[in-house]
Structure 1
Amino acid sequence: MSGKSGLSGTSGASGTSGPSDTSASVPRTPRALASLRERLRDAFWCAPTAGLVGAFALWLALSELDTWIVAYLQKEGAYEELGDLLTFAGDARTIVTTVSSAMMTFIGVVFSISLVAVQMASGQLTPRVVRIFVRSRINKLTLTVFLATFAFSLLALTSYEGGPEPDPRRVTSAPLFQSLVTLGLVGLSLLLFVAYVSSALRLMQVGPVLDHIARESLRALGRQPEGVVDEPSLGPVTAQVAHLERAGVLRSVAVARLVRAARRHGVVLRLVPRTGDFLVPGTPVLAVHGGTAPPRHALRRTVSVGVERALFQDPAFGLRQLSDIALRALSSSVNDPTTAVQCLDRIVEYLAVAVRLPLAPLHHRDRRGHVRLVQHVPGWTDLVDLAFEEIRWCAAASPQVTRRMLAGLDDLLLLAPEERRRPLLRHRALLVEAVERTVPEGAGRAFALRPDRQGIG
C-alpha cells in the first residue's frame, strides 16, 4: 500500500529506563502537514482535478452573472445595448466552438511530446528523472489550464441560445463573461504552451536536470533537524512495533504524530530502519524504550511506505540519483565521461554543504523537552561512500573523471574538519591505486592523477 503502513505492537523485555535530557541542542520537529504537502506534490492528478472543479464553479458563477445582466437590460428597456451584447456573443460563439473542438487534440499532441521527452531523459540519464516531470509545477499548471479551458468552453456552449439573431425581448441569456473568460483561457494556454515546451526541452538537457536534483537535495538536507552528537542513553528495548502491510520503501514518517503518541504513553520510540530502506512485512519498524508499545490506532498513518524513495526525509536519495547518472554515463554503451564530470561537480557541491552538518541521530522532543523519537540518518562516511565508491570502480580508465574526482576530494579535504578527513583520504588512496593498476604507462598515470576541476577541460 503506497503512502500508509500498518503497525503492530509486540511486547518485549521488562524494565524501564527514562530518557536522558543531557543533550546540548533541541532539534526542531518537522511540521505535521509537511508530509501531506509532499504527497500532494507527488500526485499528478490533484491539480488537474482541482482545475476541472474550479472551471465548473466559475461557469456557474458567470452563468448567473450573464443571466442577471440580460434580465437587468430587459428590465431597463436597453434593447439596443442588449442587441450589441448578443451580436458580440454570437461572434464569440464561433471561437468558443472552435476552441472546444480543437482543445483535446491540442492536449494530446502536447503531452505526447512530453512523454517522448521523459522517455529520452530516463533512457539517457536515469529512470528516476521521471519524478522531476511528475513534480514539476509548470507541467501541472499547463495540464490544469488546458483541461479547464476545454471543460469551460463546453459548458459555455450550453449557455448560447439557438437562432442566428435572437430576439432581445425574449432572450434569457447572453454569455458575455463566459465568452471573455474562454478567450482569456485560450490566451493563457498559448503562453503556458511556450513555457511548457521550454520546460520539456530543459528536461532533455543534462545540466538543468543535475541542477534540479542538486537543488532539491540541498533543500532536503537543509530541512533536516540538527542531530545530537552525544547520544543520550535510551535504556533497554522493552517492546517492538512490526510492519504489517505489504513490502515497500520507507518514504517518510509522521514525526509529530509519533512524538505525541510516545508522550501520551510515556515511552521513547526509535525508528529501526532508515528512511529509504525496504520494509518487509513482519520486520520491526519501531523499537520502544521505557514501557509498552502504544496501541495500534495511535500509530496509524505514522509511517509512509511506497514503491520508490522520496527526497522529503531522505537527502541521500539525491546522491543516489547523481551517482546513477554518472554510472550510466561511464558505461560502455554510453561512454560519456563529460556527464560523469558534471555529476561529480554536483556531488562535491552536496558534500561541501554536508561536511559542516552534524549528521548525527535525530532526537525529536516534545514540548517539555523530553526525547520521544530517535531517527537514525546516514553519517558522513555513508555519504562519502555513496558519492564516490561506485563511480571510482568505473572511472579508473577515464582520465577526465579521475582528474575531476581527485580535484573534488582535495577541495573537500580543505573544507573537512580533522575527524572527517579519513573517508576522503581512503577514497583518494583507492582511486590512485585503481589508476596505477589500470594505466601501465608512467606518463599516462601522471596525467590521470593530476587534479583538475574541469577533468581535462
Structure 2
Amino acid sequence: MTRPGGAVRRRLASITEAIASRLWPLPLVAVIAGVILGVALPVIDRAVDASLPSWVGTFVFSGGVDAARAVLSAIAGSLITAASLTFSLTVVALQLASSQASPRLLRMFASDRMVHATLAMFLGTFAYALTVLRTVEDATEDADEFVPRLALTAASVLTLSSVIVLTFFLAHLARQLRVETMMRDVHREASETIALMADDAPGAPAAAPARPGHARTVPAPTSGFITGVDREALVRVAAEADAVVRELRTVGENVVEGTPLIEWWPSDPMVRPDAETSERLAESLAECFSAAYERTPPQDVGFGLRQLADVAAKALSPGVNDPTTAVHALGHIAAVLGDLAERDERPAAWADADGAARLIPAGGGFADFAEVGLQQIRRYGAGDPDVAARLFAVIDDVAWRARRPSERDVLLGQLERLEASVAREDYDEVERARFADLGARARATLGRA
C-alpha cells in the first residue's frame, strides 16, 4: 500500500519542479516586494524622521536632495546592468552545457536557485530604488524638502548585498559549468526520484488477469512526453467501474495524440458497457495521465539515466573525444542502477481494497533501465580500452547489489553483449586478457549465492 503522504509528496514534487524550472517567479516576487518596500519605507520616514535620536544620524543617509537622487539613479542604473550581465552569463552557461554535455541538462540551469536568487536580488533592488526615487522632493513654498533617509540607507544596504551576491554567483557559475558538477546534480536528482517513487504502490500486489479479446483502448488526448501518472486515481476509477486497466505507456515515453495510451476491460466477461459509459470511463482514465513537451524528474526514474548516458555519448563523439568524462559518467550510472536493483520488485498488478486486480503497470523494469544506461555507451565506447573496462566494472558493481535472479539475468545478458562488442574491436592480446579477467570477475559476482 502507499505510504502515508506518498501521493502528497509526489504532487508537491511535481508542483515544485514546475515552478523551479521557470526563471520568472522569484524575480517577479522580488520586484513586487521592492515596489511595496519602496512605497512603505518613505511613509515611515516621514513619520519618524523628526523623532530619530541624534546617534542614528551617524548611520543613515545624511545628504541632500541632489545627492539622494544621484545615489538612487546610480543604484538603479548599476543594478539593471548587473541583471543584464547575470542573464547573459546564464545564457552562455546554457550554450556550453548544451554543446559540451547534453541539451537535456539545460533544465537544471534554468532551475538553478542561485540564478533565480541573483536575478531577484538585482531586479528587486532596481525596483526599490526607482520607487524610492519618486518620493524625493525639492523644497517648495508650502513644504520643506524631503529626503527619505531610512529608505536611502536601505537602498545602500541592498546594493552592497547585491555586490556580495554577484560575487557568490560568479563562483557558483564557475562550479556549475564543470561537467562533474552537472553529473553529480543529475545523480542526486535521480536518487531523489527513486526514493520518491519507492512508495508508489496504489494498492495491494495481485496477479495480473489475462487480457480478453474485447479489451478497449483509450487514446492519448495530447502529444508529448508522459510526465506523471496518478495510479491511485486509476485504481479508484477502475474500481468504481468494476474494470481492469492496463497501462500501455510508462512515464518518460513519448506519445502521439490519438495513439493507444491505456486499455481496459470489464472484470465480468459477460458485461458489455454501452458507448456512453465507455466514453465517460475513457475520459476519466485519460485524465490520470499528464504530458508535457519535455521530460521532468518528479516521477521519471529513467530520466536521470538518460541524461547521464547522453553526457557519456557526447563525450565519446568525434567532435568532443573525451573518454574520461564517459568513464566518470559510467560511475554515476552504476550507482543509479545499483539503487534501482535494490528497489522492491514491482508486482504484476495492483488490487483495490476488496482484493480485485485493477491496474497492470507498464514498463519501468530493471531491464529497461539497464538498457538506457548501458546500450549507447557500449555501442560508442567499446573501442576505447578505458571505457570498455569501466563497462565491465559497472556490471560487476551493480551485480553486488542485485538481489533477485531476474536482475542478475539482465546483467548477464548485458555482459554477454559487451563481450561480443569488445571482441569485434581491434585490441591487442594484453588488452584482451585484461577484458577476459574483468568479464570473469563480473561472472563470478553474478554467480554468487
TM bin (shorter chain): 0.7 to 0.9
CA contact 1:362–1:374 (8 Å) conserved in 2: yes
How far is 1:377 from its partner? 4.3
Question: Is 1:176 aligned with 2:170?
Answer: no
Moved more, 120-129 or 293-302: 293-302
TM-score scaled by length of structure 2: 0.82
Look up the match of 1:223.
196
How far is 1:50 from its partner? 1.7
How far is 1:270 from its partner? 4.1
User: What does the per-residue CA deviation read over 1:142-177, in whole Å, with 9 as the maximum and x for residues that have no partner?
Assistant: 1111111111111110011125xx89x934854233
Distance 1:135 1:77 in 2: 44
- Equivalent of 2:391, from 394, 399, 405? 405
CA RMSD in angstroms comes to 3.4
- Equivalent of 2:171, from 186, 192, 198? 198
Look up the match of 1:243.
220
Question: Is 1:44 aligned with 2:29?
Answer: no
Question: Is 1:356 aligned with 2:342?
Answer: yes
CA contact 1:26–1:365 (8 Å) conserved in 2: no
Distance 1:356 1:171 in 2: 75
TM-score scaled by length of structure 1: 0.81
Instruction: Name the CA shift for 1:258/1:157 in 2 (closer, same or farther; >3 Å).
Output: farther
Instruction: Name the CA shift for 1:110/1:426 in 2 (closer, same or farther; >3 Å).
Output: same
- The residue correspondences of 1:45-444 to structure 2 (distance < 5 A) are 45-70=24-49, 73=50, 87-88=62-63, 90=65, 91-162=67-138, 170-171=143-144, 173-224=146-197, 225-226=199-200, 230-233=206-209, 239-245=216-222, 247-255=223-231, 258=234, 261-262=237-238, 267=243, 269-290=245-266, 292-293=277-278, 294=280, 302-360=288-346, 375-417=361-403, 418-444=405-431
Distance 2:294 2:422 in 1: 35
Instruction: Name the CA shift for 1:191/1:311 in 2 (closer, same or farther; >3 Å).
Output: same
Instruction: Name the CA shift for 1:390/1:235 in 2 (closer, same or farther; >3 Å).
Output: closer
Instruction: Name the CA shift for 1:172/1:92 in 2 (closer, same or farther; >3 Å).
Output: closer
Look up the match of 1:11.
none
Quote the sequence identity (%).
Answer: 27
Describe the SS at the equivalent of 1:376. coil
Distance 2:359 2:144 in 1: 68
Structure 2 spans left out of the alignment, 5+ residues: 267-272, 440-449
Describe the SS at the equivalent of 1:305. strand
User: What does the per-residue CA deviation read over 1:335-359, in whole Å, with 9 as the maximum and x for residues that have no partner?
Assistant: 1110000000000011111111135
Which structure features the higher share of helix residues?
2
CA contact 2:205–2:350 (8 Å) conserved in 1: no
